[in-house]
Structure 1
């Protein structure tokens, strides 16, 4: 596995508007390698997804759910959207990188938060259950100690296995 190539994001971070130059120009990532190249580095910060994925891994979740926890807020760091829609936006951005077992819990997470589903579209019960588990990992992530975080390379290895390229 190659080293994570992080890109500086000067004015974009949680709660900030605007897109980082070059990161989403040309569209969403089309492969895992492209996704990995676009991962942001935050000086002195830990990506919330890293925390949630660490908790999911330590709880024995399947690789797809660990990956969903890792990438659930991918879009936030590029367009500053609020949490209520960031999971769906992340799923939309990563549709060419990850299969539905990774993306559907992220979509159910949003439905669970908003208490609304798209008319006429009912997610599979398994996806709803995975969305609830994902919500629990995300909610617990703020209490996760930095000392307990799994390394990026470990989590990216899991994510690569669940990707279309894995």
Structure 2
């Protein structure tokens, strides 16, 4: 297991990581997805020197009510197809959660229904309130993301109402 910042990875390692994520996502990992996975930390799981699992933690700010949380947003969670079912995804997510708990006020991620049970087993809570994206100071609903955002409280989270509106900043591609 290795946890590193983007700038600690060589050009060759970044190319290997991009190729790994392309394969892990059945070649549906686009350029926007790649950009969302950069700018923070990478948890890299290897077996015999070969990359088998990955999760990125990217700094973002999420808002709910009057609260703004310094958030570690998890992106690009992937496991090499021939290594699925061996606990590698769980291992990198537990390491990512440890990083979130010591570094951020809140952890967050977006996941489709096929992955909900996985994240819930790891202690993530589904945000049941409405979701929004802030664009040029205006909040716009992201109904397609309702129920798909998960949060991981950290020691710095404090009280929160997971039925309240949750807002992220705009970014190209998927907001969440």
Q: TM-score range, shorter-chain basis?
A: 0.3 to 0.5
Give the alignment's TM-score, normalised by structure 1: 0.33
The structure with the greater share of residues assigned to strand is: 2
Superposition TM-score, scaled by structure 2 size: 0.32
Which of structures 1 and 2 has the larger relative contact order (alpha carbons within 8 angstroms, sep 6+)?
1
- Greater percentage in helix: 1
